[in-house]
């Protein structure tokens, strides 16, 4: 009997030893879901984060902000940090669904009209002036929209139900009608708008491109500037600030335009969501159901601090420093982030 107990104890001890040998500190995972338009800046923040937290495995998930919101809401995509190209997607989609408690506005920009210099259909779109970003960008000619209405002209862009870049393009078309007072201009321009399918991986090389499948595109200025660096033929022009979603003082005017999107598809959630036009501003939040709250807070801290500011200054969009939150949201953000934000009644 004693021998049996001794053997059993030896077996247990051996199992414990083997388990001890095999057991290693489990890697922590951090899922960063973000708009493609802020991908370059976030890549730099991710590098800095890894240098400080080598045991954390980062999953970088990029896509249209609305599409990402639906995926994380329905559990298709794990997400700890969500950085959207439109802060209102957090306010209007994630907060009502109980998925987020606050919205931090950390970057801002403007929409521009992009084209290729050698495209015959784009000739005459730019007013006089040299093209030398970022210091020198020509304005669009006063009646630029007439170039877009010419036969055969195609304006490419994302689907408005998937990406803020897509619905902001539609908002610009609607605001143009209000600004110029041309009846039916919105519908006429919309007839020239074509959805460019999202493509990644092996399909990216076959994606429709500016100058080949379409002639114009409404783009974020920092993205257009990066494209101009890569391609000497790439051009863009500035639109009036009553149209280009660039100025917070035009907030009430912009809000006359809006887009209504299908809801998140959750039980009991609204079947549709209306998002008003506003200044182009990027927002970030930490998901309530995110599995790694501690590392998510540390990551957002880097984004809102000097490292993130430098990354945004280098590749865009422009940082909001300090980042802004509504007074109500300020009470709900993690204590560690409060020194990096300032309460403001409206987005800067």
325-335 pLDDT per residue, tens? 999 999 999 99
Mean pLDDT, the chain, rounded, equals 90
Q: What is the pLDDT of residue 119?
A: 95
pLDDT (0 to 100) of residue 199: 58
pLDDT for the residue numbered 200: 55
- Is 269 inside any structural domain? no
Is 348 inside any structural domain?
Answer: no
Does residue 304 lie in a domain region?
yes
**DSSP3 helix / strand / coil % (the chain, rounded to 5):** 40, 25, 35
pLDDT above 90 as % of the chain:
84
Those residues with Cβ within 8 angstroms of residue 83's Cβ, 6 or more apart along the chain or in another chain: 32, 33, 34, 35, 38, 42, 106, 282, 283, 284, 303
Given a cut of 90, whether residue 126 has pLDDT beyond it is: yes
Give a yes or no: residue 223 inside a domain. Answer: yes
Q: What percent of the chain has pLDDT over 70?
A: 89
CATH number for the domain harbouring residue 237: 3.40.190.10
202 and 118 part of one domain: yes
Residue 302: which pLDDT band, with cuts at 50, 70 and 90? very high
128-144 pLDDT per residue, tens: 999 999 889 999 999 99
Q: In this structure, what is the dihedral angle of CA atoms 240, 184, 121, 234, given to the nearest 10 degrees?
A: 40
Boundary-marking domain end, from 227, 245, 263: 245
Closest CA to 333 of 153, 106, 141, 31: 106
- The span from the CA of 37 to the CA of 226, in Å, is 11
Distance CA 61, CA 197 (A): 18
SS3 201: helix
Are residue 240 and residue 144 in the same domain, yes or no? yes
pLDDT (mean) for 66-80: 95
pTM assigned to the model? 0.90
Identify the weakest region by mean pLDDT among 88-97, 204-213, 236-245: 204-213
Rounded Cα distance, 213 and 207, in Å:
9
238 lies in the same domain as 308: no
What integer pLDDT is reported at residue 346 of this predicted model?
78
Confidence class for position 212, pLDDT limits 50, 70, 90: confident
Residues 162 and 98 in one domain: no
> Residue 41 — φ and ψ, nearest 5°?
-65, -45
pLDDT tops 70 at residue 6:
no
- Counting every residue written for the chain, the total comes to 348
Q: 136-145, 202-211, 248-257: which has the minimum mean pLDDT?
A: 202-211
In three-state form (DSSP H/G/I as H, E/B as E, the rest C), the secondary structure along 7-45 is: HHHHHHHHHHHHHHHHCCCCCEEEEEEEEHHHHHHHHHH
Q: Could you tell me if 45 and 93 lie in one domain? A: yes
* Tally of domains in the chain: 2
| Separation of CA 143 from chain center | 30
| Shared-domain flag, residues 287 and 332 | yes
Write phi, then psi, for 139 (nearest 5 degrees).
-80, 160
Which whole number is the average pLDDT over 173-189?
97
Give residue 99's domain range: 28-108+280-343
**Same domain (yes/no): 148, 232:** yes
Is the pLDDT at 203 greater than 70, yes or no?
A: no
Give the C-alpha distances (Å, rounded to integers) separating 162 from 69, 70, 80, 263.
9, 9, 20, 11
Q: What is the pLDDT of residue 306?
A: 98
CB 115 within 8 A of CB 328: no
Q: Is 159 found in the same domain as 96?
A: no
Q: Are residues 159 and 199 in the same domain?
A: yes
């Amino acid at each position: 009997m004693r021998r049996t107990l001794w053997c059993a104890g030896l077996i247990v001890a051996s199992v414990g030893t083997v388990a001890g040998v095999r057991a290693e500190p489990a890697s922590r995972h951090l899922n960063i879901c973000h708009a493609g338009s802020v991908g370059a800046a976030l890549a730099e923040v991710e590098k800095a984060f890894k240098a400080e937290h080598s045991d954390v495995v980062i999953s970088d998930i990029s896509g249209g902000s609305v599409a990402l919101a639906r995926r994380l809401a329905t559990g298709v995509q794990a997400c700890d940090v969500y950085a959207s190209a439109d802060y209102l997607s957090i306010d209007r989609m994630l907060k009502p669904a109980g998925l987020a408690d606050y919205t931090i506005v950390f970057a801002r920009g403007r929409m521009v009209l992009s084209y290729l210099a050698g495209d015959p259909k784009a000739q005459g779109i730019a007013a006089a002036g040299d093209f030398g970003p970022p210091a020198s960008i020509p304005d669009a000619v006063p009646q630029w929209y007439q170039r877009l209405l010419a036969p055969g002209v195609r304006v490419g862009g994302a689907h408005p139900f998937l990406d803020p870049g897509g619905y902001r393009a539609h908002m610009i078309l609607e605001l143009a009608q209000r600004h110029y007072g041309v009846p039916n201009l919105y519908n006429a321009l919309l007839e020239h708008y074509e959805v460019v399918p999202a493509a990644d991986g092996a399909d990216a090389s076959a994606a429709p491109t500016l100058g080949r499948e379409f002639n114009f595109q409404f783009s974020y200025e920092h993205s257009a500037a990066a494209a101009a660096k890569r391609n000497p033929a790439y051009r863009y022009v500035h639109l009036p600030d009553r149209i280009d979603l660039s100025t917070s003082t035009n907030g009430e005017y912009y809000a006359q335009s809006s887009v209504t999107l299908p809801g998140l598809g959750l039980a009991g959630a609204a079947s549709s969501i209306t998002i008003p036009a506003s200044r182009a501003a990027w927002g970030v939040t930490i998901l309530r159901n995110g599995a790694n709250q501690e590392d998510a807070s540390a990551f957002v801290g880097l984004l809102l601090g000097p490292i993130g500011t430098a990354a945004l200054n280098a590749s865009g969009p422009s940082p909001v420093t300090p980042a802004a939150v509504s007074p109500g949201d300020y009470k709900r953000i993690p204590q560690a982030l409060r020194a990096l934000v300032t309460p403001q009644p409206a987005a800067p």
